[in-house]
Structure 1
Amino acid sequence: MVRTRRIAAAVLAAALVPATAALFTSSQASAQTSEEIQAEIDARHADLEKVIEDYNAKREELDDANALIAEIQEQLPALETAGLAAQDRMAEIASTAYTGGDFAMVNSVLAGDPSDFADRLMYLSNLSDAENQALQDSLAQIEELETRQAELEALQESADEILGEIEEQQQEIEDEIDSLEDEYADAYAEENPEPDWGDYSGDSAVVAFAYDQLGDDYVYGASGPDEWDCSGLTQGAWGAAGVSLSHNTAMQWDETARISRDELQPGDLIFYNDLGHVAIYIGDGQIIHAPNSTTVVKIADMDVMSIDGYGRP
């Protein structure tokens, strides 16, 4: 019973931390740099973690409450049966102890409010100790039944409401994070406009294809049409020229002839980092490659990283 009341009180008195206290509106982020917005995001994540942990605590309380509801529901049928049996025993005890006109008095006593029944038990002083104990046990069973029924109703009424509030607050948190990330993306794009790569005027179909992919996203394992990893880009570029390459840097190394740095021509491949990366040479000491997931397909200096060698399909 102590656990029941503790959980019921915790659930009924749960004061959820208002999400609005931690909310950060997009208007506040206007005119901020991406670094400033990132700092706000980091700070809000720290605040929101505390709020979410508070919500998690409420969920734990509700889990306990739900378990208790199931327990009460399981016990209610037996208690209800015990309550009915108690009423029958009370009538039997009274009818045995009293006869005639006295029985009418007993009925009047029993019909009163159970809360002050003890005061009226004085009228039944001639009941035997055993009968009196049976009567008290019956009243205790009825009281337990009524208490558990009240607790069950309170828990059921409050559980859905609190869960709904939790879900609403968490949705507000998720919306805030989305808004801040949108603000960051907009600010970063404004601060880092996509370079004007110009138009390719050469005659290499491989380089022409690679130029058309500038600005596309890097995605591990992707081979187009709008997302690439390094070997997927070189495979696609040479595929546009009618040459089939595997989608793997080490395999492309085996599928190409070794050439020297001085022999490089637009379209040739440059291999890097123990065959962990490959790029397309476009001339003038530059390459087009898909570097990693933090950036996009772009032009870079050919010596951007440690070179393993050069290949021509």
Structure 2
Amino acid sequence: MVRTRRIAAAIAAAALLPAAAALFTSSQATAQTSDEIQDEIDAQHSELEKVIEDYNAKQEELEDANQLIADIQAQLPALEAAGLAAQDRMAQIAATAYAGGDFAMVNSVLAGDPSDFADRLMYLSTLSEADSVTLQDSLTQIEELETRQAELVALQESADEILAEIEAQQDEIEDEIDALEAEYDDVVREEYQEEWGDYTGDSAVVAFAYDQLGDDYVYGADGPDTWDCSGLTQGAWGAAGVSLSHNTEMQWNETARISRSELQPGDLVFYNGLSHVAIYIGDGQIIHAPNSTTVVKIADLDIMGIDGYGRP
């Protein structure tokens, strides 16, 4: 009983907490730079962690409640049998009272409103001591069973309501973060493209690569909005009508060797034991998809050890 009340109190207290939705209203982000949007994303993640921890705490409370419910359900057969036996004993007392002229008093004890339970027990003092004890035990047993069942039902309903609210709050925050991250990607792309300007050359390969500036690196990705190194070079040359495999070493074998002095925009530059490949764009620069910590970007040609150069 104490444990039931502890859990019920904890869930009731949680219900009084300010709704997380009020804390996480739509930002309608007006950030002008990627850094400002990143700050908003970090702040939202911080708030989301609070919601998730509230969710976890309520899950723990619910586990306790469910265990308690299981315990009571295991006891119910015995309690119900005891309740039926108690009813039989009360019927016997009522029959005896009827024979003795006290039926009206006993009937009022048995038929009274449950809220008058304490008052009804006072009437038992007029019965014989043995009958009074028997009837009081029976009524108490039935009353306790009904009370605990009601507490457990209320507890389960409260727990379900709280968990549903927290799940809704979590979904709302995750949706907001997704929107912010999408905006972040758009702003980063715009910033990179503004920084490096528009491509004015006539290489379809380089033009395609410019359009991907600011896109995320994702291992194994080959577009349209995420890339790894060989996926980007494959996509860029695909835009020019040339088919390349999605693998750096295979692309090495699919291209003709050229010298550094022969490099032209669109040629491929191979690095690091044929584990990385980039697109030469002229003026000693490349466009490449470096790794998962950054995005498709422009870099100096000599960013790492060069294995060689290739032209499809």
Question: Does 1:209 pair with 2:205?
Answer: yes
Identify the range of structure 1 (159-168 vs 258-267) with the bigger mean alpha-carbon deviation.
258-267
What residue is the counterpart of 1:167 in the other structure?
167
8 Å CA contact retained: 2:69, 2:152:
yes
Question: Does 1:90 pair with 2:90?
Answer: yes
Give per-residue Cα distances to partners, 1:174-217, cap 9 Å, x unaligned. 3443454455456545654444333333xxxxx43343342224
* Deviation of 1:86 (Å): 0.5
Question: Does 1:309 pair with 2:293?
Answer: no
8 Å CA contact retained: 1:109, 1:120:
no
Give per-residue Cα distances to partners, 1:32-83, cap 9 Å, x unaligned. 5432343343234324422431232123223332443344445445433422
Aligned-partner Cα distance in 2 for 1:252–1:233: 12
Aligned-partner Cα distance in 1 for 2:281–2:169: 53
Q: What is the aligned-residue RMSD (CA, Å)?
A: 3.7
SS at match of 1:280: strand
Shift in alpha-carbon separation, 1:309–1:86, aligned structure 2, 3 A: same
Aligned-partner Cα distance in 2 for 1:221–1:99: 88
TM-score by length of 2: 0.75
Shift in alpha-carbon separation, 1:305–1:119, aligned structure 2, 3 A: same
Aligned-partner Cα distance in 1 for 2:101–2:162: 54
* Deviation of 1:93 (Å): 4.7
What residue is the counterpart of 1:26 in the other structure?
27
What residue is the counterpart of 2:201 in the other structure?
200
What residue is the counterpart of 2:127 in the other structure?
124
TM-score by length of 1: 0.75
* Deviation of 1:132 (Å): 5.9
* Deviation of 1:147 (Å): 1.3
Aligned-partner Cα distance in 2 for 1:226–1:44: 24
8 Å CA contact retained: 2:272, 2:307:
yes
| Aligned-partner residue type, residue 17 of structure 1 | P
Q: Gaps spanning 5+ residues in structure 1: where?
A: 202-206
| Aligned-partner residue type, residue 165 of structure 2 | E
SS at match of 1:221: coil
What residue is the counterpart of 2:273 in the other structure?
274
* Percent identity of paired positions between Structure 1 and Structure 2: 69
Q: Gaps spanning 5+ residues in structure 2: where?
A: none
* Deviation of 1:300 (Å): 4.1
8 Å CA contact retained: 1:268, 1:311:
yes
* Deviation of 1:105 (Å): 6.3
Bigger-Rg structure (1/2): 1
| Aligned-partner residue type, residue 36 of structure 2 | E
Count of aligned pairs: 302
Give per-residue Cα distances to partners, 1:257-311, cap 9 Å, x unaligned. 5544234455543211222211233544343444445323x55432233212234
Shift in alpha-carbon separation, 1:94–1:156, aligned structure 2, 3 A: same
